[in-house]
Amino acid sequence: MKILVPVKRVIDYNVKPRVKPDGSGVDIANVKMSMNPFDEIAVEEAVRLKEAGKADEVIAVSIGAPKSKDVLRTALAMGADRAILIQTEAEVEPLAVAKILKAVAAEENPQLIILGKQAIDDDSNQTGQMLAALIDRPQGTFASKVEIDGDHVTVTREVDDGLETVKLALPAIVTADLRLNEPRYASLPNIMKAKKKPMDEKTPEDYGVDITARLKTLKVAEPPVRQAGEKVGSVDELVAKLKALGVNA
């Protein structure tokens, strides 16, 4: 069976994002960009399923600027077999991404599509669920465990109350949470090998998807800044401060 893994190029999670002075967005020129951390976990899970003999092909797909090739190369170096870049300079919203992925899924017929649960730039947490709805398939979101048995996949999900387990009929969509696995670092030989793996290049138009944005960003602002308060020298001082705040136990 085939596994499709969509990946997004985003600001590296170690970089503190800066809002542009004109309020038009976040400055991503000249900052380090990487694969969205949740997508890395998705790639790792797909590759592990292949290594365990549960899947025979892992296809990574990215929608974005030409530079998104970098994150596809990372996916290939981690063990994906081939990649598809769907190139556009536009900012593509989750709904349009889901529509493009629906078209890719129609061509590739994957049994499993594993996505990151959210991208750390827009923090929308939508794409996997939207894709699942568009192709009328079940979803296991915020996954911390994925087990394939025959024509079903059992997914353990990190929910507000604890851990929920659901059983889904394949084909299915899974979105990866942090504790699903710990992604590997690609080794140098694998990075070299990845350069020879196939990468298709397409555009949203090839799939007939209108990517016109539905949301208009009117303004992007810094959140209210919190001032550092004061340091106290002892537990007694801390207790006094807490009591002054009305905390009594």
Partner 1 sequence: MTVLVLVEHEAGAVKDVTLSTVTAAAKIGAVHALVAGEGDEASKAADAAARIAGVEKVLLASDAAYAKMLPENVAPLITGLMDGYDAFVASATSNGKNIAPRVAAKLDVMQISDILSVEGEKTFTRPIYAGNAIATVESSDAKLVITVRGTAFDKAEAEGGSAAIENASAEGDSGLSSFVGLEASESERPDLTSAKIVVSGGRALKDAETFEQVITPLADKLGAAVGASRAAVDAGYISNDYQVGQTGKIVAPELYIAVGISGAIQHLAGMKDSKVIVAINKDEDAPIFQIADIGLVADLFEAVPELTGKL
Ligand X SMILES: Cc1cc2nc3c(=O)[nH]c(=O)nc-3n(C[C@H](O)[C@H](O)[C@H](O)COP(=O)(O)OP(=O)(O)OC[C@H]3O[C@@H](n4cnc5c(N)ncnc54)[C@H](O)[C@@H]3O)c2cc1C
Site for partner 1 in 181-220 (CB under 8 A): 213-220
Binding partner of 27, given partner 1, ligand X, none, CB within 5-8 angstroms per partner class = none
Residues in the chain: 249
Task: Report if residue 19 touches ligand X, rule: CB under 6 A.
Answer: no
- How far CA 155 is from CA of 26, 94, 140, 143, 144, in Å, comes to 35, 23, 6, 6, 8
Place of tokens 């296991």: 140
| Cβ-based nearer residue to partner 1, 192 or 242 | 242
- Residue ranges in 27-66 that form contacts with partner 1 under rule CB under 8 A: none
Q: Judged by CB under 8 A, which of 157, 174, 186, 211 binds partner 1?
A: 157
Contact range with partner 1 by CB under 8 A, out of 60-68, 76-84, 175-183, 189-197: 175-183
* DSSP designation for 183: P
Contact set for ligand X, span 55-74 (CB under 6 A) = none
Q: For residue 202, with 0-12 CB atoms within 10 Å meaning exposed, 13-18 middle and 19 or more buried, which class applies? A: middle
Based on the shown chain and the rule CB under 6 A, indicate whether residue 185 belongs to the binding site for ligand X.
no
Burial label for 138, CB within 10 Å (0-12, 13-18, 19+), is middle
Which of partner 1, ligand X, none has residue 116 at its interface (CB below 5 to 8 Å by kind)?
none
Q: Find the binding residues for ligand X in span 99-128 (CB under 6 A).
A: 120
Question: Residue 237 has which token pair?
Answer: 């001082």
**Residue 236 backbone phi and psi in degrees, to 5:** -60, -45
Binding-site partner at residue 196 among ligand X, partner 1, none, CB < 5 to 8 Å by type? none
User: Cβ closer to ligand X: 24 or 124?
Assistant: 124
Triad 223, 41, 66: Cα angle to 5°: 75
**DSSP label at residue 125:** -
Q: How far is the CB of 248 from partner 1 (least distance, A)?
A: 8
106 φ, ψ (degrees, to nearest 5): -65, -35
Selected binder of ligand X within 6, 37, 79, 94 (CB under 6 A)? 37
* 167 binding partner 1? (CB under 8 A): yes
**What φ, ψ does residue 221 adopt, rounded to 5°?**
-130, 160
* Binding positions for ligand X, rule: CB under 6 A: 13, 37, 120, 178
